[in-house]
Amino acid sequence: MAGAFAFVLKGYPRLSETFIAQEIHALEKAGLDIRIVSLRHPTEERRHPVHRAIRAPILYLPEYVRDEPARVVRAWRRARRRPGYRDARRAWLADLRRDPTPNRARRFAQAVVLSEELWPEVGHLHAHFIHTPGSVARYASLIRRLPWTCSAHAKDIWTIPEWEKREKLADCRWLVTCTEANRRHLLALAPSPDRVERVYHGLDLERFDAPAPRPGSRDASQSSDPVVILSVGRAVEKKGYGDLLAALAALPKHLEWRFEHVGTGPALGRLQEAAGRLGLGPRVRWLGALTQEDVLERYRNADIFVLASRIAADGDRDGLPNVLMEAQSQALPCVSTRVSAIPELIEDGVTGLLCPQRDPAALAAHIERLIVDAGLREALGRAGRQRVLANFGMRAGIERLVERFRAPPQRSAEP
């Protein structure tokens, strides 16, 4: 075994990345000695319960060279004496020529600091996300001559160029990704079939245990007890909230419903303005970021869950959104789109309803169908929960990751 493992994350802790914290905690429970390296400081005061359960110490790297120049220079003076420094510098300069951006320079500076402040017992680097964290882990691994591996997810895969993915896949020891759609894409760029493996995140079913009975059979006829439509996600283009608001505006006026959104994001203000223009203001509640406990309560109080995922203009897209698994674990019927790996989870008409992306009319039709048919809501919710329990628990994925991490390394650590 490699000793301790340093997990390189873009930011920690983050409310929107519960799946990473869930994985780290489960790996710790399985006996792995983990350290956390964060490229950014936290920006949220709230924490999920799983964050409090994680024991791993945390190293925060300089977010920008200008913030801690002396720290970067001290690390560079030590790092340049290491045998692997020239290899790392050569790889970085080759990347910089193709991507001459400040962000690329910052990644190398962070890698230099990581190489010199790494815990001595760490023998393996693991990056969550193949883009920025993958670059920092790769450069640091070259400096220290340590193996590195990667978990790739969604935006990180679809918004970086193919040359970068090819080189990282050639250089890392192995990579896991959370959907079959992702695996097929990365496999076409990998040097060998065994370099890429699909490992679903899955749910910690102890945290998402059996739901209480839903609060009656709301039928959209009572303004005092409207059907509750829920969505959880960041306010960014790939989540399709513009499409969802348009769909809600198209619903028949006589139906009584309320929409609740959980999350934050750069487009939140624009979405709130759009809801006002569409006349949805009184029916919409913007709940902001919530803890996992509070989100669970929202799932259990809702009648329908909607996620209108779409492929963004820059290629960004969802992988397999954990919020869909979470909602289904609570027997909440889901409406979503045929984007990326969502059909790997939801079978249209059996465990939920799917429609094409960027199609508010089709989305509205599915939502209306569930609003007026409580029996269908119950049937789809029950089938969705059964599928999650049977196929998307996290235990199998964690067991496979433990096997991967404990496999004998192909490159020895620096003495």
Q: pLDDT tens string for the chain (415 positions)? A: 468 999 999 999 988 788 899 999 999 999 999 999 999 998 888 888 889 999 999 999 999 999 999 999 999 999 999 999 999 999 999 999 999 999 999 999 999 999 999 999 999 999 999 999 999 999 999 999 999 999 999 889 999 999 999 999 999 999 999 999 999 999 999 999 999 999 998 888 888 888 877 766 788 999 999 999 999 999 999 999 999 999 999 999 999 999 999 999 999 999 999 999 999 999 999 999 998 889 999 999 999 999 999 999 999 999 899 999 999 999 999 999 999 999 999 999 999 999 999 999 999 999 999 999 999 999 999 999 999 999 999 999 999 999 999 987 654 444 3
Rounded distance between C-alpha atoms, residue 407 and residue 328, angstroms = 34
Q: Which CATH class is domain 4-201+394-406?
A: alpha beta
pTM reported for the whole predicted model: 0.83
Coil/strand/helix, residue 43: coil
Rounded distance between C-alpha atoms, residue 162 and residue 99, angstroms = 13
**DSSP structural state of residue 348:** B
Rounded distance between C-alpha atoms, residue 240 and residue 203, angstroms = 24
Q: What is the pLDDT of residue 410?
A: 52
Using CA of residue 334, residue 250, residue 359, residue 178, what is the dihedral sign? negative
Domains 4-201+394-406 and 227-391 share a fold: yes
Instruction: Give me the DSSP letters along 167-228.
Output: HHHHHSS-EEESSHHHHHHHHTTSSSGGGEEE----B-TTTS-PPPPPSS---S--TTSPEE
Residues 6+ apart with CB under 8 A from 256: 220, 221, 222, 223, 225, 226, 227
CB atoms within 10 A of CB 158: 22
Q: Which CATH code is given to the segment(s) 227-391?
A: 3.40.50.2000
Q: What is the pLDDT of residue 116?
A: 98
Coil/strand/helix, residue 134: helix
Q: What is the pLDDT of residue 201?
A: 86
Rounded distance between C-alpha atoms, residue 384 and residue 331, angstroms = 6
**Residue owning tokens 């956390």:** 36
CA–centroid distance for 135 within its chain: 18
Instruction: Give me the DSSP letters along 309-336.
Output: ----TTS---SS-HHHHHHHHTT--EEE
Q: What is the pLDDT of residue 413?
A: 41
**DSSP structural state of residue 31:** T
Q: What is the pLDDT of residue 208?
A: 85
CA–centroid distance for 279 within its chain: 32
Q: What is the pLDDT of residue 47?
A: 84
**Where are the alpha helices (H) located in 229-301, listed in sequence order?**
241-249, 268-277, 292-301
Q: What is the pLDDT of residue 409?
A: 60
For the chain, what are the domain ranges?
Answer: 4-201+394-406, 227-391
Structural contact between residues 4 and 59, judged by C-beta atoms closer than 8 angstroms: no
